[in-house]
Amino acid sequence: MLKKRIIPCLDVDNGRVVKGVNFIDLVDAGDPVEQAIIYNAEGADELCFLDITASSDNRDTLLEVVKKTAENCFIPLTVGGGVRSLDDISRLLHFGADKVSINTAAVDNIDLVAEAANKYGSSTIVIAVDAKQTAENQWKVFTHGGRKMTNIDVVNYCNEVAKLGAGEILLTSMDRDGTKSGFDNKLLKAVTSKVNIPVIASGGVGNLNHLLDGILEGEASALLAASIFHFGEYSIGEVKRYLADNNIPVRI
Amino acid sequence: MNLAIINFGSGNLHSVHKAFENVNSELSNPYNIVVTNDPKEIQSADKIVLPGVGAFGDCKNAIFNIEGLHASLEVSVLKNKVPFMGICVGMQLLADLSYEFGTHVGFGWIPGEVTRIVSPQEYKIPHMGWNEIRFSDHKLFDGCEQGSDFYFVHSFYFQNQKSEHSIATTKYPDQITAAVCKENICGTQFHPEKSHINGKRIIYNFLEWRP
């Protein structure tokens, strides 16, 4: 049976992890490569780096991080943040990313989704969608790190990028992100019931039960979390054992 | 001993190269690994690996657009019986035909066709993530446990004409070929380079394989 994937996400700024960390064996708490290696050893199913470096001049520091991680971790690595063009994708893949996530650039230029999927394969292209609820059972796409609202309906948009060749959708609830109140499972269900590609749930995880609900209620294929892992609240192993105890297929 | 990883611009080339380098460094007699599309280097290789992600037709065209590449592969693999491993689309290319975005002729090294996975809505396509495999007795799976998880990502799969060429299967929801072998030619639908310890075991077994 296909397993539900647990994906720790690291926010990287200027080549350093920005969220607080609490690993016991970590020599350098801000080194994303070291953290990635630990997550890998703990049984993470994939890894995700989100580059939040403000200045594009400093983006190259991420490439070194990607390269070193790919040399040490033999699980899929998704990299996103500031990806604007086919050249950006090419560069990340060349340095060792397995998938590249595109957010604002895909909204600005929907053709990029098809071009990228045709050139690198659907399996390589993740479309990151920042969603915010605007009415009952209605969510709009936000861009530029959630600062700009568009008039695009999330479910329609997800369907469109799936048709254009996106391999999966990384769906973040802006309403829930950072709140630790659980995934927006209505949003998740609205997308997973209509879209035929895998959806990664993101935004809002505070405890183990939230993760379980993302699968049972949101019907997500994969779960992405940052702070619960970074702050050492739960290990990847604990998450997987909890899900397994609740009859969710996971890789242990 | 040389091992050639074929470079035709596939997206997973880097990952495959790094994983093979990592496992190779643990061997007592490591290979000299070259990433190449040079027919001469390919013909002097003792083992050949063909990675591949993306669409079947694109991968095939990329290979045939490199002068002498396909011919040198045929000499090495079919005539000189050099052990060969295809990964993902690199494995699907071994088939006679693929129906991904049109109809494409494959290498025809292992009889069969590549067709779309048919699944109900709750089975998302691509088949993406870790899934367990069942394998038959083959060197490639030495030391692996039945039901081990490997990382898959694909929307099409290799339907073997002869069941003996399918050496491992997975389920999504119907049975799907996970690995093939015919004499000196093997291939995996899953990505050993992304399958953590289980994947490294497969790579190790391929490096040690003497068909």
Q: How many Cβ atoms from other residues are within 10 Å of residue B95's Cβ?
A: 29
CA distance B122 to chain A (A): 8
3-state helix, strand, coil in chain A (%, to 5): 40, 25, 40
Residue A21 clears pLDDT 60, i.e. is over it:
no
Bridge partners, residue A135, by sequence: A138
Residue B18 clears pLDDT 60, i.e. is over it:
yes
Question: Using a CB-CB distance cutoff of 8 angstroms, which residues of chain B are in contact with residue A3?
Answer: 129-131, 149
**How does pLDDT run across A205-229, given as a tens digit for each residue?**
999 999 999 999 999 999 999 888 8
Domain encompassing residue A95: 5-245
pLDDT value, residue A163: 96
CA distance A70 to chain B (A): 7
Q: Across the interface, which of B54, B123, B200 has its CB nearest the CB of A121?
A: B54
Q: Across the interface, which of A3, A94, A123 has its CB nearest the CB of B153?
A: A123
Residue B157, SS3? strand
Domain-wise residue ranges, chain B: 2-208
Residue B7 clears pLDDT 70, i.e. is over it:
yes
CA distance A65 to chain B (A): 15
Kindly indicate the confidence band of residue A20, based on its pLDDT and cuts at 50, 70 and 90.
very low
pLDDT value, residue A26: 63
Look at residue A252 and tell me if it is in a domain: no
- Round to whole Å and give the CA distance between A219 and B122: 9
> Is B61 within 8 Å of chain A by CB?
no
Active site residue B88: yes
Among chain A residues, the shortest Cα distance to B170 is held by A1
Burial label for B30, CB within 10 Å (0-12, 13-18, 19+), is middle
Q: Which of A191, A246, A200 is nearest to A223 (CA)?
A: A200
Residue A29 clears pLDDT 70, i.e. is over it:
no
- Round to whole Å and give the CA distance between A161 and A177: 23
Question: Mean of the pLDDT values across residues B121-140?
Answer: 96
Residue B4 near residue B47 (C-beta atoms within 8 A): yes
Q: Which of B207, B158, B210 is nearest to B183 (CA)?
A: B210
**How does pLDDT run across A130-178, given as a tens digit for each residue?**
999 999 999 999 998 888 999 999 999 999 999 999 999 999 999 999 8
Question: Mean of the pLDDT values across residues B92-120?
Answer: 95
Least confident of A57-61, A229-233, B35-39: A57-61
CA distance B127 to chain A (A): 8
Q: Across the interface, which of A75, A118, A167 has its CB nearest the CB of B126?
A: A167
Bond preceding residue B83 cis, omega within 30 of 0: no
> Which residues touch A163 (CB under 8 Å, ≥6 apart)?
none
> Is A55 within 8 Å of chain B by CB?
no
Q: How far is CA B147 from CA A58, A95, A116, B137, in A?
A: 44, 32, 34, 14
> Which residues touch A208 (CB under 8 Å, ≥6 apart)?
A234, A238, A239, A242
Residue A75 near residue B196 (C-beta atoms within 8 A): yes
For chain B, the residue count is 211
- Dig out the tokens for B119 from the structure: 């699944």
Bridge partners, residue B168, by sequence: B135, B179
For chain A, the residue count is 252
Look at residue A250 and tell me if it is in a domain: no
Residue B173: what residue type? P
Least confident of A230-244, B21-35, B196-210: A230-244
Among chain B residues, the shortest Cα distance to A92 is held by B11
Q: Which of A117, A118, A73 is nearest to A97 (CA)?
A: A73
Find the catalytic residue in B88, B144, B181, B186. B88
Q: How far is CA A232 from CA A42, A82, A238, B135, in A?
A: 12, 28, 11, 38
Look at residue A157 and tell me if it is in a domain: yes
Percent of chain A residues past pLDDT 70, beyond the cut: 94
DSSP-derived pairing of the beta strands B134-135 and B156-160: unpaired
Residue B149 clears pLDDT 80, i.e. is over it:
yes
DSSP string, A70-112: HHH--S-EEEESS--SHHHHHHHHHTT-SEEEE-HHHHH-THH
Residue A22 clears pLDDT 90, i.e. is over it:
no
**How does pLDDT run across A93-123, given as a tens digit for each residue?**
889 999 999 999 999 999 999 999 988 888 8
Domain total in chain A: 1
Residue B188: what residue type? T
**How does pLDDT run across A236-251, given as a tens digit for each residue?**
999 999 999 999 999 9
Residue B37: what residue type? N
Residue B58 near residue A118 (C-beta atoms within 8 A): yes
Q: Name the residue with tokens 């090495």.
A: B76
- Round to whole Å and give the CA distance between A227 and A225: 6
Task: Residue A46: give its domain's CATH number.
Answer: 3.20.20.70
- Round to whole Å and give the CA distance between A100 and A93: 8
Q: Across the interface, which of A45, A98, A196 has its CB nearest the CB of B124?
A: A196
Residue A107 near residue A145 (C-beta atoms within 8 A): no
What kind of fold does domain B2-208 have according to CATH? Rossmann fold (3.40.50)
Look at residue A217 and tell me if it is in a domain: yes
Neighbour-count burial for B130-157, b at 16+ CB within 10 Å, e otherwise: bbbbebeeeebbeebeeebbbbbbbbbb
**How does pLDDT run across A69-87, given as a tens digit for each residue?**
999 999 999 999 999 999 9
Burial label for B65, CB within 10 Å (0-12, 13-18, 19+), is exposed
Report the run of H or E that residue B6 belongs to, with start and end.
strand B2-6
Residue A62 near residue A15 (C-beta atoms within 8 A): yes
